[in-house]
Amino acid sequence: MNRPYLKIDQVSKVFNRGSMSTEVLKDISLDIERGEFVSIIGHSGCGKSTLLNIIAGLTPATIGGILLEDREVNSPGPDRAVVFQNHSLLPWLTVYDNVRLAVDKVFGRQKSRAERHAWTMHNLDLVQMGHAADKRPSEVSGGMKQRVGIARALAMEPKVLLLDEPFGALDALTRAHLQDSVMQIHATLGNTVIMITHDVDEAVLLSDRIVMMTNGPSARVGEVLTVPLARPRKRLELVTNATYTKSRESVLKFLYERHQFVEAA
């Protein structure tokens, strides 16, 4: 019997604020294989970030839990690196030092100084940011910051890479560039990736499976769609691809017909 790499096991989350208590997530279960790229899509406020934070260990689940390689996850750690929606680089450190901080912390014992430097530069080059290593985050564009955030996460050699709307704040062109970078990195390194997104095209283009969440409160996994497109995927060729169009349609149908967003966000 093949055990899943990452298991989200009947996770529920209740937030208590004073006497009020709201159930945000209800009974979420999902098995993710090693090397899989899974997207989570759902309307704003349904609890996607909450779920990602539970996987990251930043928020404890009320009921249920997360198993990574059969071991329970109950605190954050570099084996589940997060790329946050707003990049969250430390503004007082250079691009290089932001990544180096992670490298030093994770590989401080295993790697020598020179190796850590090389590893930092290697990861910056991977996201095409080696040229801006000595700039501060405030001196580079939004897309570049997000690249550095991804480099920092990759540099930790995480078992699972968690992306919380990584391209949400970017314009369409930059977004497309970064999606291509992420696809390429995923193809080269074979990371296991969980990505939250609002963007249907992005989800279909990047994912092996798309997890669609119902509206909150008490959001559940509504449907899981497998995207049977061969890799590498080329965005231009896919536009006319029947499988792509069909996948896209079923996600849109789920979001806008069956689980229309009722209250204004």
Ligand X SMILES: Nc1ncnc2c1ncn2[C@@H]1O[C@H](COP(=O)(O)OP(=O)(O)OP(=O)(O)O)[C@@H](O)[C@H]1O
Name the one range near other proteins by CB under 8 A: 31-39, 135-143, 185-193, 214-222.
Answer: 135-143
Stretch that binds Mg ion, among 17-25, 47-55, 108-116, 146-154 (CB under 5 A): 47-55
- By CB under 8 A, name the one of 15, 27, 31, 58 that touches other proteins: 58
Q: Is 39 in the site for Mg ion (CB under 5 A)?
A: no
Question: Among residues 45 and 142, whose Cβ is nearest to other proteins?
Answer: 142
Of the pair 31, 104, the CB lying nearest other proteins is at 104
Under rule CB under 8 A, which residues in 59-88 are in contact with other proteins?
75-78, 80-82, 84, 86, 88
For residue 146, the SS3 value is helix
| Position among 117, 136, 209, 220 found at the interface with other proteins (CB under 8 A) | 136
The answer to whether residue 2 forms part of the interface with other proteins (CB under 8 A) is no
Candidates 39, 49, 120, 192; binder of Mg ion (CB under 5 A) is: 49
- Residue 262, phi then psi, degrees to nearest 5: -85, -60
Task: Show the tokens assigned to 202.
Answer: 């992005």
CA distance 109 to 244: 46
User: Which candidate, 263, 255, 257, 262, places its Cα nearest to that of 39?
Assistant: 255
By the rule CB under 6 A, 24 interacts with ligand X: yes
Whole-number Å distance between alpha carbons of 179 and 226: 19
List the one residue from 106, 121, 133, 151 that touches other proteins (CB under 8 A): 106
Q: Please tell me whether residue 196 binds other proteins under the rule CB under 8 A.
A: no
Helix (H, G, I), strand (E, B) or coil at 160: strand
Instruction: Mark 33-72 with x for binding to ligand X (rule: CB under 6 A) and - for no binding.
Output: ---------x-xxxxxxx----------------------
Is residue 194 involved in binding other proteins (CB under 8 A)? no
Best CA proximity match to 194, nearest among 13, 26, 49, 10 = 49
Which of ligand X, other proteins, Mg ion, none sits in contact with 138, Cβ below 5 to 8 A by type? other proteins
Q: Which residue pairs from 250-255 have beta carbons closer than 8 angstroms and sit at least 24 positions apart in sequence?
A: 250/223, 250/225, 251/41, 251/200, 251/203, 251/204, 251/210, 251/212, 251/225, 252/200, 254/212, 254/222, 254/223, 255/41, 255/42, 255/43, 255/200, 255/212
Q: Give the residues lining the site for ligand X (CB under 6 A).
A: 15, 17, 24, 42, 44-50, 216
